[in-house]
Every structure is written in C-alpha cells, then in structure tokens.
Structure 1
C-alpha cells in the first residue's frame, strides 16, 4: 500500500491576518501548536507503518519549499516528485500529477491519495480505520463530509451514497442548484485499487486540458460512465479544507464545549411508544442536565458531583444513586458511538477528551441519569453528525442493548428534537424507514401544567412489568390498549391545536385510567396512585409522565393551584412546569 500526498496552492487571504505567510504552500502552513499541516499528515501516515512508501507531488515553483521540509523531517527527498510546472497555465492537473508519481516510480500497489490542504490536529485521525474499511469493500473508496449550511454544493464534488451498502451511486462535480439533493461533498482523500490505476491514463487521454483533469471529473467519469464500484466513508468534522482564512482560523483554534438538555414529560400516549403507538411529550426548563467536552491527553469520563464532603456524604449519595451514577452511560455511549461509526464507514478523529456531566433532575422523575446518553451523543457529534431520527434510535440502542434498560423511543426522540413533539411509532413506519414520524408542535399559550414526584426513587423495569411479553404474545387486552393510546394521542393533538384545554384534561385522565387497567394497581404502586388521587382530589387532570415515581397534571383553575401544594404536605415535591421551547431559545409563556 502506497500513500501519495498532493501539493496545494496558497491560502486565499483577503483579511491581511496572514500576510506573513504569503507564498507559503497551504500544506506548509502552521497548524495547531505551530506544527505545519504537512507535519500532521506525515506523522499520521508514518507512525503506524501502514505504507510501504510515501510520495509527495509538488510543482517546480514550490519544490524547494518541500525539499527543505523533507530534509528537516526525515522524509526521503527522492520521494518528492516534481511535476515541472511553475504557473497555473502550465500545470498538469491533479490526475496527471498522480499518474506521474505512479509512472515515474513504477508503482504497482493500492494507492491512498491525500490532498495537502486538509488540516487535522496532531494524532487526531486514525488512518488505519480508513484502510480497514477500504479493505472490507470490493472497490475504491472516497472520503466525504456533510456540507455546512454556508457551503454551496456547486463548489464541491457531490456524492450520492447508498445508506445500506455505502456504495456511491452518483458523483456530480460542482453541480448546479437543484441537480442533486445530496449534501455530501467529496474531498481529495481516496483509496484506489491497483487494478484500477490503468483507468488514470485512459481518462487523461480523454481529457487533454489540465482544467478538466481534476479528480472530480475523474470520479464522475469512473462512477457515472464506467459504473465501477466506488464506496464512501464519512469524514469527521475535525477535518477542514484549508482554502479560505475562515477555514484556517476555525481549525487552529480550540474551545471547551458544553451541552445542556432539558427534562421531558410525557403528556399523552405513553407508554405506547414501545408498542408501535403514538405519544406527545414536551421538554421543560425546570430540570436539566449538562455534559462538558474538553480536549485532554487521555480519554476521561467523570461527574462533577462525585466530590464528597465527608464519608457520610458519600454514604447518602451512594445509597440514592448507586456507585457508578451516569458514568456507565457515558462510557456505553462512547463505546456504541465508535462501534456505530466503524460499521457505517464514518471516519473518526483520534482526538482525546474529558467528558463530565452534571444534573439537577431527580432520579425518580425520569431515571435522571439516562438523560446523559443524548447529551453525551450530542457532545460526540462535534466529532461527527447524525440525522435526528438516527440519533434517537442510537440513544435507545445504548440503553436497551448495552445497558439492558427497559425503555421506548419517546424520551429519546423528544430529547433530540426538544419542545412539544407528537410522535407516531406505527409498525409500518418503523419497518419501512426505521423510525417514526416526529412533528414539532406550537408551544405558544400552553395551559398550566404541574409536576409532582415522590421522595423515593422508582424503578422503570418494575413499573413496566410483563407488558412487553403480553404484547408480543398478542394478548387482546394489551394490543387493544396500545391502539387506544394511539387514538387518544390523535385526539390530544387536535385538542392542543384547537386550544381545547378541557378536552385535553379529559384525555389525560383517560390515558391514566387505561394504563391503570392494563398495568394494574400492584404494578403502578401505592406511591404513584397516591399522587394521582391527590391531584384529582383538587380537580386536576393527572397522569404518569414516564415510568413512575412522578405525575404530571393539568390545572384549569389557577385558584386551585395553591391547594395543590398539599403534595408537599404528603411528602412529595411539587412544582409548576415551565415548558422549554428550543425555537425560541427561551421558556414559553403560559395562560
């Protein structure tokens, strides 16, 4: 396996910030810590000894720059290939440069081609995972990334990738607007099989002009016309193409990232989310969790709340929250994230980090520590992005497959989308597209909701009981109940849209009574029943917002709100809900 590094031109600097770098090739610009960009690549491809040889192609105008670099960095000077060009007008073209390196050194191996204007942090990128993925596929490999909103598809080579096989079905070189819906852009980072190298000269014979000898045109010809099997692997966001000053500045800087998420409450339809039903849930600002991501030499996960003031403090916290707290969730998320990206052909940076979490969510409200899973994933998405529906599925898989936590999709969806979300998990949708239909709803002028919870934690697995087994076996009562939950959700959605709060209150009560009939009082437990009865006693609609340990209510008479403080006298915690609206980046008003 041979690696070929292609030279690049200069950075386009209209700001004057880097006037001292005028004339310096982009590959020799200083990166993080002052090291040249090419230094990072040389260490990346050299440290693992994955390649038998590494070559660097440049032009005659900048050959001396690279020759001096090679001498200073123990790079074999004889492997610096000079294409003889000195201006843009007499350049050979990128494909011709690669063909020159292959022909002049009689290369007959698989080739990895990398552009010199891509910047990555020191040891942040494991090129071995690219090689492994390339070896696992029966064809060539193109690295691609998701365009940012500010980037236009007409400025890049755009690939359309089959999500199941990772095969690139079409390549469009700088397409005009509307020609493709894909936002996946290729970069000059390719793996080419030895048997495919002969196509380079065939292509060059068809393209006598240097302007047409770009890799974009080559792949367009090879994929669209020759129908060769070419596969795609997604580039981490830790990479940047260094063309403009803004790209250069973005990559050489680093900052601590903090991510927060609000608690959710299920307003209607739960727990049918795990049974192909429909639900409505809402995020609230009263309780939150946050995960902080900081660059570090080694990978570390910990919680801010694990500093104990005394042995008694340790005893009390351990008795309530266990020994590991959310650390197992952080670790499981990281493990599953790496596994997912490896399987999907998504390249990851090797950059290490410290993950730490903090939260004020009471354990009994919603198994508070599971909220660290979407937060951890969100922080990891600084390394890579995933569509929201896929993100929700991923979070559920971490909890169910890795940690064996009984859970449904509702909480994961609303924590990803945030706000007031209506969710349809029908069997047909889940089988056809792998996820449900998720619709964000208007949060303006919502009625007054409240939340009360027990002082003692509740266990989700116990509350869910044996319902899943009964549902899978087709027990009529359970199947009919889940269908009814979905119908109640449809009616609740209409009530929310029509601002019919009396109807919504009736539906919330029906939701609880239906759940009670299926799960039975023994399963729900005396604590939950006590809170429901207490809420009803003061004329409020009440239901369980999650697995148990808390109740959510709708109070239509604000004068009765004071009387609901009786929850506190009964040993519960009571609070008025403040809905969280992500589109407004603030809390919603209530009437």
Structure 2
C-alpha cells in the first residue's frame, strides 16, 4: 500500500471510529443527564482570640486558614458508597510493626466514619424539618492536607466539605440555614465521641474572619451563637508555627470541663476573662490597634496555661509559644495545641528572627493565608430569612 492509499485508509478508519463513538453515545441516551461530580473544600482554622471559651458560653474571633484544607467529592452512582482514602483509611500494612506504628501516630480512624456520620445527621435533620430528598445515590471520597493533631480542626473540615456536597446534590442549600450548619457538623462529630465546640465549624462554614458570641442567652433562644463576619483586611500579617510530630490536642479539655461544670470559681472567672478577650480583640481589630491585639493574644495563652496546667498542655506545645515570645512576637495556640499563631508587631525584621528561631528549634513556620468568605448569594439569603 503506497503512502497516499495508506493515508486515505487511516482517514476512513478514523472517521468510522468517530461515527461508532457517536452511535454509542446516542445509544446511551439518559447517561447524558447524569449530573457532574460535586466537589467542595473546607479549610483549617485559627482561633485568634477567645478559645477555648466557645465550649463555655464564651466568645471567639477565628480565621479560616487557606494554607491547609480538606476536600470532598460527591459523584452520582448506582449505590451509596463511602470510599476509603488510600492513606488515611489504610487497612493493609507491611508488617505488624507497621500497623502498630501507624496506630500510634495516626490513631484508629480516618475520614470514612466522619463521612458516614454527616450523612446520618444530614438525613435526620432533613426528615425532622420536612425537607424532602430525592432518591439518587452517590459515592463520597475525600482528601486532606491538614496536619494531624495540630489543633487546626482537620476532622471538622472533612465533615464541613461533605455537608456542602450534600446540600448541593440534594439542592437544599436554600433550606438549611447557614447558622444551623455548624451545629450539624458538630452533631456528626459528637456521634463519634469527638469532644469539641462550635467555633471551628462556624469558621469553616463562614470562611474569612468571624466574631462569634456563644452566650447562653443566644444558645438557648436561637439554638446557635451570634456570628458576625468581619473584613479580613483588618488583620495584620500573622504566622503559623507547628511541629512535625505534635502531641495529641484532645487531652487538654478533660479536667477543666469538669471543674467548670462543678462551679469552680477560678475556672469560671478565667473563662469569662478569655471570652472578654475576644470582645476586646474585635474592637482592637476594628481600630487596627495591633499593639493591643498582641497583648490580648499573649494574655489568652497565659490564662489557658493557668487553667489547664503545663502537664496537660505538653512541653512541646508550650515551647512553640515560648520560641515566638523570645523574639518579642505575640503567640498563642491556634486551637487546643499542636500549632501556634504568632504576630510580629515590629515587622519584617522580627519575622526574620522568628523564622530563624523556629528553624533552629525544628518547628515549621509560614505566613498565614486567610480564606475569604465562603458564603454564596444563596447562603446569604438564608441569613436574611429570619
């Protein structure tokens, strides 16, 4: 076969293949109407001021952190499938030692249980509130780059992203109020025995910079706190510090919570002061009084240290705070330990000192990137429909 004949033959064959593909596509028919996958991200968060008073009828100022996130993908499917993550839901190991090391560093559970829990809580909420859901099924999968045990709220980020997928898949975003969504996320985590407050979930649902008031009056009357988004441009440059191998951030609430429930005067008065720091911090941000903000951040950690004690906070966590303070930076936990937010009021030269001391101490340090508001027009309408 000469070149010209071969070229014509190849061209005819290519045309035949295109026709066959078109015929197959026409035969499939209804598959054209399969909805595309839905994917959402939820971001890590920094408790800038007021934490942990959110669990104690308090107030907080929090930031949604763009440096780290969890993503969830929902794809329509014949059966409802919760797909395990190839790393975080590992069930195959090289050896018994590998399994034991894995459990020691990562714990027993990955994200599958979180996805299952929010599916249950979402379904129950819709049933209880007369929200009808269509019969379609889906496959949920997730990924995350939020470092474990850093107090950056990695678990709730997975749940938050999954809830957003469910809202869009069932087309009920307009029927589930924004203020209620953090409660649903927290309820899913409580299903699994995770002890936490609403602060993280509010920050992840709203995005950006948010002032939150969890006073008993609001919680009793509304069923949720009062949440006020703030302009992220009010924030000064901040830095995140965390350890490569952090301690467990879940231990710090244990004894303090019981003392608070028992009416311990020191704990109650200290928590009230922590809550007031958030109120003062909101005013400081609105006025761009960053010297005052630095003092409030330091005071927040000092109060936590007095309430919880050094043994509960852990030497490594305390050292992250102290390293920053040695160069004059304000510093405090982002959450319950494992990571620290620092502010250098003296500017770039102080930031360089901070980077140097953190590197020497073996800590990771990076500028805080703030996520803008996550609320779309359809979400904002639920805020207006009181």
Q: TM-score, normalization: structure 1?
A: 0.54
Query: Does 1:437 find its partner at 2:226?
Result: yes
Query: Does 1:448 find its partner at 2:237?
Result: yes
Tell me, in whole angstroms, the C-alpha distance in 2 between the residues paired with 1:507 and 1:485.
9
3-state DSSP class of the match of 2:250? helix
Tell me, in whole angstroms, the C-alpha distance in 2 between the residues paired with 1:563 and 1:499.
24
Q: Give the aligned partner of residue 156 of structure 2.
A: 370
Tell me, in whole angstroms, the C-alpha distance in 1 between the residues paired with 2:222 and 2:84.
37
Q: Give the aligned partner of residue 576 of structure 1.
A: 367
Tell me, in whole angstroms, the C-alpha distance in 1 between the residues paired with 2:374 and 2:199.
20
Check whether the contact 1:430–1:436 (CA below 8 A) recurs between aligned residues.
yes
Query: Does 1:261 find its partner at 2:42?
Result: yes
Residue pairs, 1:229-268, within 5 angstroms: 252=33, 254-268=35-49
Q: Give the aligned partner of residue 311 of structure 1.
A: 94
Of the three residues 344, 351, 356, the one matched with 1:561 is 351
Higher helix share: 2
Residue pairs, 1:318-467, within 5 angstroms: 319-365=104-150, 366-382=152-168, 383=170, 384-385=172-173, 386-400=176-190, 402-444=191-233, 446-467=235-256
Q: Give the aligned partner of residue 71 of structure 2.
A: 290
Tell me, in whole angstroms, the C-alpha distance in 2 between the residues paired with 1:321 and 1:522.
22
Tell me, in whole angstroms, the C-alpha distance in 1 between the residues paired with 2:29 and 2:194.
47
Q: Which moved more, 1:407-416 or 1:460-469?
A: 460-469
In the TM superposition, what is the alpha-carbon distance from 1:582 to its structure 2 partner? 2.6
Check whether the contact 1:326–1:370 (CA below 8 A) recurs between aligned residues.
no
Tell me, in whole angstroms, the C-alpha distance in 2 between the residues paired with 1:266 and 1:362.
16
- Change in CA separation of 1:278 and 1:336 when aligned onto 2, cut-off 3 Å: same
- Change in CA separation of 1:305 and 1:505 when aligned onto 2, cut-off 3 Å: farther
3-state DSSP class of the match of 1:339? helix
Structure 1: runs of 5+ lacking an equivalent: 1-32, 36-120, 122-248, 586-591
3-state DSSP class of the match of 1:485? helix
- Change in CA separation of 1:330 and 1:492 when aligned onto 2, cut-off 3 Å: same
1:349-377, Cα deviation, whole Å (9 max, x unpaired) = 22111111101110122252332111111
In the TM superposition, what is the alpha-carbon distance from 1:253 to its structure 2 partner? 5.2
Q: TM-score, normalization: structure 2?
A: 0.82
3-state DSSP class of the match of 1:381? helix
Q: How many residues align?
A: 338
Instruction: List structure 1 runs of 4+ shifted beyond 4 angstroms.
Output: 307-310, 312-319
Query: Does 1:270 find its partner at 2:55?
Result: no
CA RMSD across the alignment: 2.4
1:193-237, Cα deviation, whole Å (9 max, x unpaired) = xxxxxxxxxxxxxxxxxxxxxxxxxxxxxxxxxxxxxxxxxxxxx
- Change in CA separation of 1:457 and 1:530 when aligned onto 2, cut-off 3 Å: closer
Tell me, in whole angstroms, the C-alpha distance in 2 between the residues paired with 1:583 and 1:262.
10
